[in-house]
Amino acid sequence: MTSARAAVYIATSLDGFIARLDGSLDWLPGADGEPVAGSETYDGDYGYADFMASIDVLVMGRNTFDMVVSFGAWSYGATPVVVLTSRPVDIPADAAATVTTMSGSAVEIAEALGAQGHQRIYVDGANVIQQFLAAGLVDDLTITRVPVVLGEGIALFGKTTLEIELRHVRTEGYPTGLTQSTYGIE
């Protein structure tokens, strides 16, 4: 059976956190609704649209899903989304046609999605990313560093004894102060 392969596209603080301890993302540029400094000379999406066009399905953890739902309108359109959870999920009406739930190991999820014809998974949420990395299922990571130090929060990589060799693909700086690096996994 062919497993789907995974990719990561995520923002972190300079000290490696993807959210505050309570899951808040208020530190992300633009989260307060105000224009982002430097955006007057940059109106791009940091490659997000191209990345989304390269994936077949998005797999996120339950906490990430709950946070995304709290933002209001569903932002993933027709992209299939799988929420990893063993608890019942309230799926908003505007997402009901595209959101499903699953549980299992990263390998089981990748095999099931591969059997459904999916080839490339966008994995989101610290625990999900860590599980897919540990299972050797991630092919590439795009990490956008935001120029802020949080001091504590939810770490992208967490504690691990697993050493993962990365190959630098590219790094790009933006007028907004964000720096984005893409890595392949050896």
Q: Which domains does the chain have, with CATH numbers?
A: 5-185 (3.40.430.10)
pLDDT tens-digit readout, 35-75: 677 677 677 789 999 999 999 999 999 999 998 888 888 88
Query: What pLDDT, on a 0 to 100 scale, did the predictor assign at position 35?
Result: 67
Q: Is 186 exposed, middle or buried (0-12, 13-18, 19+ CB in 10 A)?
A: exposed
- Within 8 A by CB and 6+ apart from 1, the residues are 111, 114, 115
Query: What pLDDT, on a 0 to 100 scale, did the predictor assign at position 32?
Result: 65
CB-CB contact of 14 with 146 (8 Å): yes
For 143: left if phi > 0, alpha if psi spans -120 to 50, otherwise beta; the answer is beta
Query: What pLDDT, on a 0 to 100 scale, did the predictor assign at position 75?
Result: 85
Selection from 52, 54, 51, 35 nearest residue 43 by Cα: 35
**59, 142, 164, 172 from 159: Cα distances, Å:** 22, 20, 13, 27
Query: What pLDDT, on a 0 to 100 scale, did the predictor assign at position 33?
Result: 66
How many CA atoms does the CB half-sphere of 151 hold within 13 Å? Answer: 0
Query: What pLDDT, on a 0 to 100 scale, did the predictor assign at position 30?
Result: 74
Query: What pLDDT, on a 0 to 100 scale, did the predictor assign at position 15?
Result: 96
**8, 68, 76, 131 from 181: Cα distances, Å:** 11, 24, 23, 21
DSSP 48: H
Angle at 136 between CA 132 and CA 137, to 5 degrees: 55
pTM of the model: 0.91
Residue type, 65: F
pLDDT < 50: residue spans in the chain: none
